[in-house]
Chains A and B, each alone.
Chain A
C-alpha cells in the first residue's frame, strides 16, 4: 500500500504525465456529460422505460451496455463510437480483398495509414447515417417522439445530431490517444461500462445492510477481488515460443560474460480471442428470442414459454450452460483469426528464424498450432467460466445489478484497458527515470563526487 502511494506520488510529480491524466479525465467527463443531452423531440423517460422493460435481455441491451446507457436515454451519443469501430474493422477486412486497400496497408507506410484513417472516418459518417435512421425508427416505434414536432424536421435534425455525436465521440477518443493516456476509443467504451459500478455497489451495500448482512457484503467484495485477480492472470498469461535468428555469424566472443536471458520469442496469449467469443455468444443467444419476437409479432405466448424465458435470461441455468459451451467453441474460432500458425511459420522462414529443434515450414506450423491449442483450451474454459460467474453469483444471492460486474465482458474489458493504461504509465516512468538520471548527473547507488569531463560525454 505504501508503495502504491509512492508510485502515485511519482506519477503526480511528473508534469507531462499529470497533464495527460487530467486531460483524459476532462475529456471523459465531457463524454459522460453528453449522455445526458437528449435528442430534441424525444421523450427520454418513455424510451428508457421501454428499454428497461427488456432488462438488457436482448441485443439492444448489449449495445446499450457498450454506449454506457446513452442508447437507452436517447442521448446525442446514442450510437456511441460503435460506427467508428465498425468502420475500422471493415477497412481492415477490405485489405484482404481489395487491391487498393492492400496497397495502402502494405506499401505506403505512414502516408498510407493516414489515408486509411481518412477513409475510416468517412465510412464512419456513412454508417452513422444508416444506423441513425434505424435508431430513430426504433425511437419512433416506441412512441417516445414528441407529437408536436414536424416529422421532416425530426428526421433531419435527428440524423445529423446522432452522426455528429458519434464523430465528436470519435474525436474525443482520438484526442485521448494523442494527448492523453491509454487508447482513447477503448477508454470511452470502458467508461461506459463501469459508469454504473458505484451505484451498483451502493445499491448492494444498502440492501445488504438493510438485511443485516454487512459481513456478507465484505465476503462478496473479497470474492469480487479474487475474480479480478484471476482475470488479470488470464489476460496477461503468455506462452513464449523461443525463436533464434540465423542472420548473423557470431565469432568467438567473450565466454566468461554472463548470458542474457532476453532471447527472442513469439508470445502466444492464453486469451488471444479477448472478449469476442463472449459478446458473440451473447448476441447469438438473443437471436432465437429476437426472431421469435418478429415471427409471432409480439405474441406473448412464445415469449412466455419457459424455454425462451430461460434462454434470454442470462442468470438462468439453461442460459449459462449454453453460454459456456458457445464461448468455449467460439474461442477457438476467434483465436484462429488472431494466431495463424501457417502465416507465422511462413514469416519465420522469410526472416530466417527458427524454433530450435523444429524444422522450418510445415513442422513449424504444426508445432505452433499444437501449442496454440494447448494454451487456448484452458483459456477457453476460463473464458466460459468468466461468462457465467455473474449467474453463479446471482444464484448465491448477489443482486443482479452488482452480479453483472462479476464477470463477462465488463470485467474483461475493464481489466484489459486498465492494464494497458498502467503499462503506458510505467513506460513513461521508465523514460522519466533515465531522463532524470542523465540530468541529475548522478548514477543510482553511487554518491561519490564524480569527476566530470564536461561535454566530452
Chain B
C-alpha cells in the first residue's frame, strides 16, 4: 500500500519537522532568476548598486548569482537558490554531495551579513574553512563584504582581526574554545569579538548530533600523579586475557579475581580499597583502560616522543587534545614516551548550548532527514529536503556479510581486483588507520597498487583525493575521505570522465558499518556525484569490532528464529546485523539526551558564575565589594585596582574549575542512587545547587579577604598560574540505569508505589523474593 504524503505525515512516518515540498520557494526562485539575468548583462558595479539603496532579498540573491557566474564561472541551479532561501529562513537543508553546497551557503550568508552586518559559517574541519573562505572571497568582496577564516592555531591578534570580518569561516571547535577562553580573560583587550547573531553549519548532523556527545573542554596543566606509572603499566602489560573483562557496550572494564590477586601480590600488604592503596588501584584501572581500550593506530599515533590523538569522526590527528583523568599519562607510560603534565578542566560547554547561543541557526548536510526530529528538539530547526539537480544514477549494492575476517578480506580483494581490472576507480572506506594499513598490505601483496589516505599521510591529502577517481585507481582511506570530500570523476578532465563513467563510475567499498545508517550513507555519497554513475557496496563481517562490542552473537542467540549462522542466507544475516546497528543508533540517541539533561543545569550555573566574574571588569563593582571592609580606602583600592581584579579573577576561575571537577566526578557516580529508588537527575540537581551556592559563597569570602589583605599590606601575592592551551577530551559515560532489569528499581521508587498494591502479582513477587533470599545465602 502506498500512502500519500498527508497520510504519512498524520501517521507520524514523516515527522512534522520535515519540510518536504520539492517545489518549495519556486516562485521566488523564478524571480531571482529574472534578477540574475538582468545583472549578468549590467555593467554597473555591484558595490555602487548596493550603496545607493537597500536591496530586497530576491534581488540581492539574483545579483549574487550573477556575480558567482561572472567571477567563479558557476551557473546556479534552482536547488541552490532554494537551499539559500531555506538557510536564510533558519532551516536545516538536506543537499546531496556535489550539488554545490558551498555556493548555496555563501549566498545565504552574504544576504545575512548584508542585512544583519555579520554572519558565521562553521565547516567540518579547519582545512575546509580556509578553502571555502578563499574560494568564495570574490563573491563577498564584490558585494562589499569582508571575509576571514579563523583557524585553530591562529595567534591572538590575527584571531581578533578575523572575527571583525562580516563573514567568518571557522569550525565549531575553534569558536567553542574561543568562547571558553573569553570566559577566562583577565583583560578586556583579550576579548575575542565572537558574534552570536547568525550561523550556518555545514555537515550539521555530524557537528550537532554526533559530536554533541563530547563537551568542549578548556583545560590547564597541573602536576600528575607521583606514582610510578611505568611500573604499573608493565604490570598491566603482563596480564593474561582472563585477568580482566571488557564489556564495551556497557562501558565496563574491570579486573577479575585472578587479576586483582596479581595486583595485590605486586603490592604486598597494601589495602587496595582505601588510602594510598586505593590511588594505586585507581592508577591500575586507568592503565588497564589504556592497554585494553585504546590502541595505537586506531585511537592515537605515536610521533617522536608524543602521543597524538586521532579524532574518531574526521580521522585526523588533533593537536592539543588529551584524555582526562590520568588516562593520557597511562597511555604515555604504555608507549614508553615521556609522561606529560596532567590536564585539569577549567571551563566546559556542550555543543548544543554553544550553538543555541546564536539567534539564527541553519545548516546543511546530505543526511538530515534521519535526525530531523532530534535536530528540531535540540535546536528548534526544521529540515528541508532539496531534490538533486540530476537524478542520481548511483547503484547501492546489497550488504554482504561474511562470517570471519579472513573471508571478508578475501572477498574485498576479489571485489577490488574485479573492479580495477576493468579500470573502475575504487575508494575503500575503512574505520581506523590500522585497518587501512592492513588492507593496503594485503592488496599490495595481491599485486594491486593502492594509494593510502590516513592520518599518517595527511600532507598529501589534496593530491590523493584529486587522483582518487582516475581510471583503475584504488584508494584506501579512513574517515578523512568521508564528509566534505568531493571526488570528481577523472579529476575534471572530460575525456577521463567519460572513460571512468563507462566503467560504472567510482566504486565505493565500505569495510565496516558505522554507528548509524546515516554515516554509512555519507560514505556512499562519495559516489554518484551530480548524476554521474557510481556504485557502492559494504562488505562486513559478523566479527567486526562494532558487532562484537554490541554483542551481535548474544542477540542472535536470544532470537525466536534461532538458526545456524552457517546456513543463514545474506538476507537473514543482514537482518541481525542491521538490528544491531539500529540498537546502537537508539542507544546513542538516548545517551545524547541523557547528557543534555545533565548539561542544562550546569550551563545555567556557568552563565551565572561568568556573569558575576565579569562584572569586576567594572571597577565600581570592586569598590562596592570592598566598601564594607575598607570604608576609608577608596584611594588605595583605585591605586591597586588591576591587581585586585586579578586576585578576584584568580579565585573565581579556581573555584569554578573546582566546581566543574566535583560535578564531573559526581556525574559519574550519581547513577548509584537509583538503587534506593531515587532519580539520579533530581538528586544531581539538588546537590549541584547546594554545592554551587556553597562554593560561590566561599569564593566571595576568600576573594574579599585576599583583596583586603592586599590593600592593607600591598603584599605581592603568589601570582596566579597562567593557563595553557585548550584541549578537548574523551568522556567516559556511565549509564543511568545500573541494572538491566528494572523490576527492583521500579519497586524501590516511592513514586511507583502503585506497583506494590496488586494482590494478584504480590504472591509472584513473594516467591521471587524467597528465591533471591535463598540464592543469596553462601553455598
Per-residue 0/1 for A319-358: is the Cβ within 8 Å of any B Cβ (1 yes, 0 no)?
Answer: 0000000000010111111111111100101111111111
Docked CA distance A62–B273 (Å)? 50
Instruction: Point out which of A279, A335, A357, A446 has the most chain B C-beta atoms below 10 A from its C-beta.
Output: A446
Decide yes or no: A430 and B685 within 8 Å by CB, A82-B758, A86-B761, A267-B673 being known contacts: yes
Decide yes or no: A86 and B766 within 8 Å by CB, A448-B620, A453-B617 being known contacts: no
Contacts of B250 in A (CB 8 A): 350
Of B675, B685, B755, B764, the residue contacting A267 (CB under 8 A) is B675
Contact (Cβ within 8 A) B773 A279: no
Contact (Cβ within 8 A) A245 B748: no
Decide yes or no: A110 and B759 within 8 Å by CB, A423-B682, A430-B689, A443-B608 being known contacts: no
Among A172-230, those with CB < 8 Å from B are 182-183, 185-186, 188-189
Is B741's beta carbon under 8 Å from chain A? Answer: yes
Contact (Cβ within 8 A) B605 A434: yes
Contact (Cβ within 8 A) A437 B757: no
Among A380-432, those with CB < 8 Å from B are 409, 412-413, 416-417, 419-421, 423-424, 427, 430-431
In the complex formed, the residue of A with least CB distance to B178 is: A456
Docked CA distance A438–B775 (Å)? 53
Is A275's beta carbon under 8 Å from chain B? Answer: yes
CB distance from B181 to the nearest CB of A (A): 10
Binding-face segment, B72-80, B307-315, B324-332, B566-574: B324-332
Is B9's beta carbon under 8 Å from chain A? Answer: no
Contacts of B117 in A (CB 8 A): none
Contact (Cβ within 8 A) A357 B274: yes
Contact (Cβ within 8 A) A333 B226: no
Is A5's beta carbon under 8 Å from chain B? Answer: no
Contact (Cβ within 8 A) B676 A267: yes
In the complex formed, the residue of A with least CB distance to B227 is: A249
Binding-face segment, A87-95, A151-159, A292-300: A87-95
Contact (Cβ within 8 A) B765 A89: yes
Contact (Cβ within 8 A) B326 A107: no
Is A56's beta carbon under 8 Å from chain B? Answer: no
Per-residue 0/1 for B612-640: is the Cβ within 8 Å of any A Cβ (1 yes, 0 no)?
Answer: 10110110110011000000000000000
Docked CA distance A451–B613 (Å)? 10
Contact (Cβ within 8 A) A342 B756: no
CB distance from B712 to the nearest CB of A (A): 21
Is B149's beta carbon under 8 Å from chain A? Answer: no
Contact (Cβ within 8 A) A413 B558: no
Docked CA distance A401–B699 (Å)? 58
Contact (Cβ within 8 A) B776 A274: no
Is A4's beta carbon under 8 Å from chain B? Answer: no
Contact (Cβ within 8 A) A332 B773: yes
Binding-face segment, B108-116, B296-304, B586-594: B586-594
CB distance from B764 to the nearest CB of A (A): 6
Main secondary structure of the interface of A (DSSP, over half): helix
Is A106's beta carbon under 8 Å from chain B? Answer: yes
Of B281, B678, B691, B747, the residue contacting A337 (CB under 8 A) is B747
Contacts of A356 in B (CB 8 A): 273-274, 278
Among B730-768, those with CB < 8 Å from A are 732, 734, 738-744, 746-766, 768
Contact (Cβ within 8 A) B604 A437: yes
Is A122's beta carbon under 8 Å from chain B? Answer: no
Binding-face segment, B122-130, B377-385, B487-495, B658-666: B658-666
Contact (Cβ within 8 A) B698 A419: no
In the complex formed, the residue of B with least CB distance to A235 is: B750
Is A306's beta carbon under 8 Å from chain B? Answer: no
Per-residue 0/1 for A89-128: is the Cβ within 8 Å of any B Cβ (1 yes, 0 no)?
Answer: 1101101100110110111111110000000000000000
Is B403's beta carbon under 8 Å from chain A? Answer: no
Is A9's beta carbon under 8 Å from chain B? Answer: no
Docked CA distance A453–B610 (Å)? 10
Is A258's beta carbon under 8 Å from chain B? Answer: yes
Per-residue 0/1 for B676-710: is the Cβ within 8 Å of any A Cβ (1 yes, 0 no)?
Answer: 11100010011101010111001000000000000
Contacts of B669 in A (CB 8 A): 243, 245, 264, 353
Decide yes or no: A275 and B756 within 8 Å by CB, A252-B225, A333-B769, A456-B194 being known contacts: yes
Is A360's beta carbon under 8 Å from chain B? Answer: yes
CB distance from B553 to the nearest CB of A (A): 12
Of A264, A335, A347, A365, the residue contacting B739 (CB under 8 A) is A347
Is B598's beta carbon under 8 Å from chain A? Answer: no
Docked CA distance A245–B589 (Å)? 26
Number of A-B residue pairs at CB separation under 8 A: 360
Per-residue 0/1 for B274-317: is the Cβ within 8 Å of any A Cβ (1 yes, 0 no)?
Answer: 10001101111110000000000000000000000000000000
Contacts of A186 in B (CB 8 A): 751-754
Among B512-544, those with CB < 8 Å from A are none
Contact (Cβ within 8 A) A276 B756: yes
Decide yes or no: A448 and B675 within 8 Å by CB, A92-B741, A341-B776, A352-B254 being known contacts: no
Contact (Cβ within 8 A) B608 A250: no
Contacts of B557 in A (CB 8 A): 99
Contacts of B134 in A (CB 8 A): none
CB distance from B378 to the nearest CB of A (A): 16
Docked CA distance A250–B698 (Å)? 23
CB distance from A245 to the nearest CB of B (A): 6
Of A109, A362, A431, the residue contacting B583 (CB under 8 A) is A109
Contact (Cβ within 8 A) B278 A351: no
CB distance from B251 to the nearest CB of A (A): 9
Of B590, B742, B775, the residue contacting A105 (CB under 8 A) is B742
Contacts of B194 in A (CB 8 A): 455-456
Docked CA distance A66–B762 (Å)? 14
CB distance from A375 to the nearest CB of B (A): 11
Docked CA distance A457–B617 (Å)? 14
Contact (Cβ within 8 A) A89 B672: no
Instruction: Point out which of B673, B686, B755 has the most chain A C-beta atoms below 10 A from its C-beta.
Output: B755
Is A257's beta carbon under 8 Å from chain B? Answer: yes
Contact (Cβ within 8 A) B741 A105: yes
Contact (Cβ within 8 A) B612 A249: no
Contacts of A457 in B (CB 8 A): 183, 607, 610-611, 614
Is B437's beta carbon under 8 Å from chain A? Answer: no
Contact (Cβ within 8 A) B753 A416: yes
Docked CA distance A449–B775 (Å)? 66
Docked CA distance A448–B619 (Å)? 11
Is A301's beta carbon under 8 Å from chain B? Answer: no
CB distance from B734 to the nearest CB of A (A): 7
Docked CA distance A427–B751 (Å)? 14
Instruction: Point out which of B286, B327, B756 has the most chain A C-beta atoms below 10 A from its C-beta.
Output: B756
Is A63's beta carbon under 8 Å from chain B? Answer: yes
Contact (Cβ within 8 A) B612 A450: yes
Contacts of A100 in B (CB 8 A): 558-560
Contact (Cβ within 8 A) B744 A337: yes
Is A133's beta carbon under 8 Å from chain B? Answer: no
Contact (Cβ within 8 A) B325 A95: no
Among B313-372, those with CB < 8 Å from A are 324-327, 329-330, 342, 344, 357
Known: A92-B742, A183-B751; 6 extra A-B contacts, CB below 8 A, are A105-B741, A111-B582, A279-B756, A354-B281, A453-B188, A453-B614
16 cross-chain CB contacts under 8 A: A63-B759, A85-B757, A99-B557, A99-B559, A106-B741, A107-B550, A109-B589, A245-B669, A251-B342, A260-B662, A264-B666, A269-B748, A336-B770, A443-B611, A451-B615, A451-B617
Q: Please name the 3 residue pairs, one residue from A and one from B, whose CB atoms are nearest each other, closest first.
A: A249-B326, A267-B676, A264-B669
